[in-house]
Structure 1
Amino acid sequence: MEDEKAKYKIFISHCSKDKEYVVKPVADLLISDNISCFYDDYEIKSFDNILDKIDYGLRNSQYVVAFIHEDYFDRNYTTNEFKSFLHNLGAKKGRILPILLGTKLKKVFNDLSFANLVKPYIIDDYERGIPVKSAEINDLVNQIKNLLNELNVKE
């Protein structure tokens, strides 16, 4: 994939259980700021082949924002997405921004040295089923936008 031809700036990877209280609010804010996102609720229709659409979204996105909960890698879709973006994005530094939902994975990600991962953003007090504070959502969106600006300057 050539970045100039990418349809989406960001592919949003997540478990459906995290959608309502953190993923959708972040996606909506990014989209309202005119940042093109592949977010499944808006890009996959009921008659679409889900795997084909996810593959299309991954191949046509410059960056990945992955909302990672402790069971993220227990699910086939998210595990396959993560493997795919590691493969497709190659060694391009800073192409994957992990958002750690809770602190249990903090040590694991701090120990990893994937060339294409940036330092994870951590929502320390995340609990499924409880809305994330709007200030935290806004801070996360600002962090993502700052990272995109920083990466665009370097390219």
Structure 2
Amino acid sequence: MAFDIFISHASEDKEIVARPIASFLDENTELTVWYDEFTLNPGDSLSEKIDYGLANSRYGLVVISPAFMSKNWPKKELRGLNALNVEGQNKLIPVWHNVAKEEVISFSPTIADVYALNTANGVSSVCDEIIKVVVSVETSIDELIDKAQKLLKDGEFELSVMSASKALRQHLEFIALQRLGPKYFRKKGIKRFSLLQLLDALHSKGGIIPKDSESEIDRKKLNSLRNIAVHGSKKKELGFKNSNAFIVQVRIIIRESKI
């Protein structure tokens, strides 16, 4: 899929709902977002771009509002969004904005039957819930760790550490979002924290793994090995021993840290 999430909305809801959600997801996660202001260029065919976005997105988010329900085109987009629901898996995320359930039922009984988020709880709360749904943490992390293990066996030590460090970063960003809150990620407009910053931030908030655990991790060594894998080093090359130790420590952190 080209996009993780497609955002459908009426232009009247852009300023208050759609843009804040799209901006937050773009700035604070690694999700690829289809949103008109991010995706469309002058001269693009609007219908073609929308059709492509709908066909190539893992999830579809639709802002249901009085303005949205009054438009002629929403039903077409909704048909495309509903097509994302396959094999009993609901990939549609409705966000209700200034609407009552009776109004949604009148507009689309099918949409009204899908569990919805509500801007009455605040846009930041909506963003948090979207992340929980869209970021398939366990699956993506497991896949990255499996890939790291295979690369290790193939002798691709730097690549194995890079794959494992990506899994670790995804895990740390998720638990940091839970423990520290979205505001932490908006601090000073910082979009991405280094691996060491994330490790240290979580350590300062009660540790990365339980204090009574027999396992210990060296945060600075983890970060150092990750940097060698990514940027290389004239003084040191990664071998099986260090790469394997890195993957083992990543597994310990993922297994024992609590989300």
Structure 2 length as normaliser, TM-score?
Answer: 0.47
In structure 1, runs of 5+ residues without a counterpart are: 1-5, 126-135
Q: Give the number of the structure whose alpha-carbon radius of gyration is greater.
A: 2
Q: CA 1:108–1:15 in 2, change beyond 3 Å: closer, same or farther?
A: closer
Q: Structure 2: which amino acid aligns with 1:16? A: S
CA contact (8 A) 2:13 2:67 kept: no
Q: CA 1:108–1:68 in 2, change beyond 3 Å: closer, same or farther?
A: closer
- Number of residues of Structure 1 aligned to a counterpart in Structure 2: 135
CA contact (8 A) 1:95 1:118 kept: no
1:124 Cα deviation from its structure 2 partner: 3.1
Instruction: Report Cα offsets for 1:90-148 as digits up to 9, x if no partner.
Output: 45422001000013246745x9456xx741011238xxxxxxxxxx2221111000112
Q: Indicate yes or no: 2:68 matched with 1:72.
A: yes
* Aligned residue in 1 for 2:97: 101
Structure with higher strand content: 1
In structure 2, runs of 5+ residues without a counterpart are: 140-259
CA contact (8 A) 2:84 2:90 kept: no
How is 1:1-155 mapped onto 2 (pairs within 5 angstroms)?
A: 6-32=1-27, 33-105=29-101, 108=104, 112=109, 118-124=114-120, 136-149=122-135, 153=139
Structure 1 length as normaliser, TM-score?
Answer: 0.75
Instruction: Report Cα offsets for 1:5-40 as digits up to 9, x if no partner.
Output: x01000000001100121101100101122111001
CA RMSD, 1 decimal: 2.6
CA contact (8 A) 1:7 1:36 kept: yes
CA contact (8 A) 1:103 1:124 kept: no
The structure with higher relative contact order (CA 8 Å, sep 6+) is 1
1:80 Cα deviation from its structure 2 partner: 1.1
CA contact (8 A) 2:65 2:99 kept: no
Structure with higher helix content: 2
CA distance in 2 between partners of 1:152 and 1:70 (Å): 37
